[in-house]
């Protein structure tokens, strides 16, 4: 598969600090999220008022929150939820964005003009604001925020892919493929797409970065992941009122958000340098 070969080339080509550091940070957080699917030290929703706001200790390494819930277990669940929402957001956004952008860039003409005008109208709204509008229509919740963010991310991916296809569609290798009788779908997905993959992969990492921040922001506002499910943004909001007395309630969720964003940003930078 040309796309898989292109991904392998990127990973084989570059092993600099940014790429490796980003890979380590995101890899560790991903492992925590994966482990959190099967095991947490305590039940994330279990309350025990006798240990409310207990400081970090060997029994509770991140301490306990205002309801006596283990913060580390809730952070694990929050990472898992954020990773799932971010992954689905990028899959929806990039999946539809690739199809629309490839069609617009490859065929051009009136189709490109109409599609890009619609795309530009949507792109004029910040993705978080657009997601906020969609969530207000669908209602808050885990599934709805995932769909809303996915839809909000389509315009950015469509624009990037369209630009990449525009730069490649008249290249000699594309003309040669046409002369050899290759169909449009083969040219789009086998010949052109692998050649813009480095740029697309860098954009995907930025998409993950933005999706983490967007999910945390929506949950912080109370219209994202809903209690009793744990969310890093929701934990940050709940812990804000306890900064003076129990700062660990906000410190650890906030630190994880920073590390996730940093990891994806470093990966994006590393892939850009390798391209």
For 28-84, write each residue's pLDDT tens digit. Answer: 999 999 998 899 999 998 999 899 999 999 999 999 999 999 999 999 999 999 999
Q: Which domains does the chain have, with CATH numbers?
A: 2-274 (1.10.3720.10)
Question: For helices 142-168 and 71-107, what crossing angle results, to 10°?
Answer: 40
Per-residue model confidence (pLDDT) at position 2? 60
Of 57, 67, 113, 3, nearest in space to 235 by CA:
67
% of the chain beyond a pLDDT of 90: 44
Taking only Cα atoms into account, the Rg of the chain, rounded to an integer number of angstroms, comes to 21
pTM over 0.85: yes
Nearest residue to 67 via CA among 251, 242, 255: 242
State yes or no: pLDDT of 16 exceeds 80. no
The position carrying tokens 């690739």 is 98
Alpha-carbon gap, residue 96 to 94, rounded angstroms:
6
The pLDDT tens digits of the residues spanning 147-188 come to: 999 988 998 899 899 999 998 988 888 888 888 888 888 888
């Amino acid at each position: 598969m040309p796309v898989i070969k292109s991904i392998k080339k990127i990973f084989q080509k570059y092993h600099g600090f940014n790429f490796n550091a980003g890979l380590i940070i995101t890899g560790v957080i991903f492992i925590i999220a994966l482990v959190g699917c099967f095991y947490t030290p305590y039940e994330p929703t279990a309350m025990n008022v006798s240990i409310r706001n207990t400081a970090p200790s060997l029994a509770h390494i991140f301490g306990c929150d205002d309801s006596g819930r283990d913060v580390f277990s809730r952070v694990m669940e929050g990472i898992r939820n954020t990773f799932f929402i971010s992954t689905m957001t990028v899959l929806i956004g990039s999946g539809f964005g690739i199809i629309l952008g490839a069609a617009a860039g490859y065929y051009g003409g009136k189709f490109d003009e109409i599609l890009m005008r619609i795309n530009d109208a949507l792109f004029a709204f910040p993705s978080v604001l657009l997601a906020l509008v969609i969530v207000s229509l669908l209602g808050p919740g885990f599934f709805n925020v995932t769909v809303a963010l996915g839809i909000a991310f389509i315009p950015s991916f469509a624009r990037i892919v369209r630009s990449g296809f525009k730069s490649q569609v008249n290249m000699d290798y594309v003309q040669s493929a046409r002369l050899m009788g290759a169909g449009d779908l083969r040219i789009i997905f086998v010949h052109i797409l692998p050649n813009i993959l480095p740029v697309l992969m860098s954009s995907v990492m930025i998409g993950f970065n933005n999706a983490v921040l967007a999910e945390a922001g929506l949950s912080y506002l109370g219209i994202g992941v809903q209690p009793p499910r744990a969310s890093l943004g929701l934990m940050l909001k709940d812990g804000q009122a306890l900064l003076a007395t129990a700062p660990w309630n906000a410190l650890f969720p906030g630190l994880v958000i920073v590390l996730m964003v940093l990891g994806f940003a470093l990966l994006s930078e590393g892939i850009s340098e390798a391209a």
